Each structure stands twice: as structure tokens, then as C-alpha cells.
Structure 1
Amino acid sequence: MTTDPLEDLPASRTEPDGSAVVRLLSYNIRSLRDDVGALVRVIRACAPDVVCVQEAPRFFRWRKYAARLARATDLVHVTGGATATGPMILSSLRAHVERTEDVLLPRTPGLHRRGLATAVLRFGPAARLAVVSCHLSLAEWERHEQAGMVLERLAGTGEDAAVVAGDLNDEPDGRAFRRLAAELQDGWATSPWGGENTSPARGPRKRIDAVLATGAVEVLGCGVPAGLPGVTEADLRAATDHLPVLAALRVPAAGPGGAP
């Protein structure tokens, strides 16, 4: 008998009090340069409500490739891609998109320009969640500054329930990671589930991908999924050069102005 590891992670649902359990996946997909079939199998097996993508297609005909990925995974494109220089947000039809914004961060000569894909999503009648997908710089000093910009952007959404997910290019003891974790809950540290390290996909040694949430969000479980139904270890290695991070989050019902 095969055991589904996702049975240990709370399922997506809306509660009688208006709160919602949301499954959020963060995944660096390396511009779809690897085994797209394996990538699709991984995403579908995780059954996410929201996917925060990093390194989405961003060059010639990028919208077509983003739409194909969304279609193949039974999701819709919410925002981001080339317009955010790589970060992108996909969602299931369960999410009602209230507003979106793609933000370009300041350019440093000689370094890849970074951006943020941001959205406010509603689940059920009243559970609103602000979502930021990010991919921070390879340069230590720059990603520390960008971590501060991520926090500013999160606060700028005006939502108490908010989450940042992405490739931080930093480990938990790094300055950028610590700057984020000082104000947000580190999902893995708060409620570890599944595996920890995310990079590289072949023999992961570092945890540089993370889901972090404000205090209004209850982290029910967060980590690298393993043993997914219909997904082999070879699929996880072939899909891209990072492993995904899957989190189950309880989002409170929000009143007027975003207050729970």
C-alpha cells in the first residue's frame, strides 16, 4: 500500500469561520530549461493553491511559455514573468485575484536586475493573503538591501496576512535571510515538514529557498515534499536545479481594511 506524504499536510479548505487553509509552493524553475514534463508532474502532485515561481521564462515569447505551464498544471497566470525579471505567481481557480503589481528593484551595473511579483488573493468570502515572489541577488550586499525592499513591499500591501516565498540565494545564517526572519516567520523553522535543503536538486546541501509569513498567518507545515504520488526522485532531480518548498498556511478571515 502506497502512503501519500501530503496526507500529513493539511488540505486546502475554507473553514466555517471564514479562515482558509492555503497550500503555497515556491519553486525556481530555471526558465523551463530542464525536463518540463517532470516539472509539471511535481507541481501537480503538490496540489498547490498558489505557486511562487522564480526564473520564469522572460525572453522571446515568454507569455506563451508561462501560459503553457499554467495550463499544464491546471493553474492560471496571476502576475509576473518578464515584467518582474523572473518572479511569477500562478494560482488555482480557488483564488480570487484582488490586485497585482510587478515591482522592479534598483539596477546595479554588471548584475542581473531583480524584481518582485506581488498579488493580493482572496480565498472564500473573506480570507485575504498578500503574496510576494522574489529571487534575491547573488551579491551579498545587494541581497541584504533587497531583503529590506521585500519587507517594505510586503508592508505596502496593507494586508496583515502576507507571505514572501522565493529563492533567497542565502542560507538561514546569512544577513539577508536573517533580515527577513527577524520580522517574519521562517516556515521551515516554525513548522518543519518534509525535507529541509533545496539546492542543488541533485544532492541538496543548502536551504536557500524559503517561505516566510507574517504573524497573522499560521504555518501548519513547510518543507521540501518527497515521495509525491506519481513523482519519482529522478523527476525531482530532472525538473530543475532547485527542489520545491511546499507550505500549508492558515489565513484568517479579514475585516474591512485587511484587519483580521
Structure 2
Amino acid sequence: MASCNDYTVGWVCTLPIEVAAAKATLDRVYNNSPLNRNLDDNNSYVLGSLQGHNAVIAYPDTRACGKTSVADVTKQLHASYTSIQLNLMVGIARGVPDTKEDIRLGDVVVSKSTAGAPGVAQYDVDGGKRTEDWYIGSRGLDLPTPLLLTAMGKAETAAIFDESKMSQYISEIVQKDPVTFARPGPEQDTRLEPNYDHTTVESEGSGYSHCDPDRVRSQQHREAQGPVVHYGLIASSPPLSDAP
């Protein structure tokens, strides 16, 4: 059985559905947990292998899912798994309408550094400025490691030359559990106007059924049938934003 020191890839999630998706990507799932984890570590873990690397998926205790910060989960992860070299944060996000990027429900957005700037910006940190719709942060996160930047470059190049295996991997995962992981249809991809004050009403359930239908933006047909990967700056906020 691998020890904590044998794991080099850390994958942080905060929601149960994110954990399920992360686990589905593993080539092999280990049934046993290492015995030498930190005594103060309250995280839950899924251990396995991914493309020849021992990977550990970390997520908060079920009672704290959605409330514990990524920073807290990551801190406890590194306290137990001290050999982690790559840190991944993969999860569900909301999209903001953009006139340049045609981002649809089910697409993948990857933070990308440009001109030496980080690919993730915090817009609700202390010292940030609150506008009518957004918190504008005063700083960004640290740059990714050179190893991750190199891997990202290879992934972009593979997609340009139509050599990406992403669609193959997604198809294999969907076949295992089509109910959970099937791509949502276009009828579920509701896009509201950028300045619409989207507020969740718990009594009316999830989704956009309670939103003003006159504020829904129409979308043109897109040739790509599967998920499209977008690279660029993304915004990060501890509380879930109510913006569309």
C-alpha cells in the first residue's frame, strides 16, 4: 500500500458532485487509506492513480461541503501528503456572458497566465472595491508551477492539431454513469443579461425557473457538439456569486 509520501498530485474539490467527477477520471481507485496522515487532518480523501501518478482527491467533511474554503482543504492536504508537487482545483463555476468567448453550459474553462500575470483573480478580498455587480479584488493568486504551465501548453497544442483525447476520456466516463455525467442539453443552458440581478429563491427550487424570461438572452447554434475548452483569466470568490 502506498504511503502518504508516494502521492505527488493533489486534487481539491468542495462539492460532492465534483468529487464524483474527479473519482471517475482516475485510472485506478485504491480501497485503503494510508495510516500515517496528520492527526489534525479533517479532510476526506479518495486515493488512486492517474496516468502513472499517485493522486489524492481531497474534499471537506460532508458536514462542511460548500462551506469550507479551498485554502483550508489544501492546507490540511499538504500537512498529510507532504510530497504533493501538483495542485489542481477543479469544480463547478458560473459563466458571465461575453461577446468574445462563446462559453456554453458544460464547457471547460482553464485559468491561464498571460504576460506574467496569474490566471486567477480574486475579486472579493480585503481591500477590494464593490461595484454594482461585482467585487473587484486588489490582487491575484500566485502563478502556477512551470510543470503545470508546460502541461497546459501541450494540451492547447494537441487540441489545435486535433490530437486531444479529451472527448475519448469524457465518453468513457459517461458510459460508466450516463445519468450523472451526461452532457446537459441546450434547453438547459439559460443565459441571462449581464446586468440582471440573479437571486436564488429557495422556495422555487434550483435553476432559472423563477427568473424573468424577458431577460434571457438567445444563443446561436454552435457547430461543436461536445465541450469546448477555453483558456484565460477566471475570477475566484469564497462565497458563491449570485451573478449569472
The structure with more radius of gyration: 2
Tell me if both proteins adopt one fold, taking TM over 0.5 as the criterion. Answer: no
TM-score (norm 2): 0.28
